[in-house]
Every structure is written in structure tokens, then in C-alpha cells.
Amino acid sequence: MSKGESIRDEEGVLKRLGVDAGLSRNEASLYLRLLQEGQIPSSREAEAATLLERGMAIISGDGKRIIPVHPRLGIANHYRTWREAMVKEISERRMRVDRLILELIPLYDAAMEKRADAGGA
């Protein structure tokens, strides 16, 4: 693909960036635009914030432009940050479930004791 060349199935790529890479429609569109144009003005930093956070784009050394990271590295960076977030969420959920279990055990124990005292084992 030469500079400024378009993708044959842009709609399909946008959908795959959404489904497979987890980007919103706007993020996917902006990433494709960055890849095709090579840069956007840094005045659009707010719009590109997610791409910057996920390592799919960087701010140029002079601070005037946002430039794309090579797709191999950009998508890998995004996947890594997504995976880290998922692992963190799973760990946090497990800790919440463990606390819930500890809260429910006394209820179960009390009910079993009451049942045993009533002679209904």
C-alpha cells in the first residue's frame, strides 16, 4: 500500500477493529485515518486520547502532531493493556467474591446449627 492508499474493505476493517481489537467506531476510524495520513494535529489530542493511552499512537517529539504506531506494535500494545485490565478485573472480582463468601458462611453455619438442634440432620 502506498502513502494515502485506501483499504479495499474499510468497513470490514473498522468492524474487526471494533470486534477483535475492542475499539469504538470513532477510535477505529481515527486509527485508520492516522495510518493512512501518517499524522494528525496535536490539537486533536482529546479525540485521540484512547489511542495514545493504549499505545496505538504517540505525540511527535515537537509536540505538534499525533502519529500512529506501526500496526504490529500498536495492536499488540492495545491487546497488552486490554489483557492487563481484564486480569486486574478478574482478580478484583475474585477478592469481592471471597469477601462475600466469608460474609455468607456464618449464615450457613447458623442455619445448619439450628437444623441440628431441631433434630433434622
What is the mean pLDDT for each group of 10 consecutive residues in the chain (121 residues)? 66 91 91 93 91 92 94 89 92 97 96 88 56
Instruction: Tell me what pLDDT residue 121 has.
Output: 56
Instruction: Tell me what pLDDT residue 6 has.
Output: 65
- The CATH number assigned to the domain with range 10-117 reads 1.10.10.10
* CA–CA separation, 28 and 36 (whole Å): 12
Instruction: Tell me what pLDDT residue 79 has.
Output: 87
Q: Note the pTM of the prediction, 2 decimals.
A: 0.67
12, burial (CB in 10 Å: exposed 0-12, middle 13-18, buried 19+): exposed
Domain parsing of the chain, residue ranges? 10-117
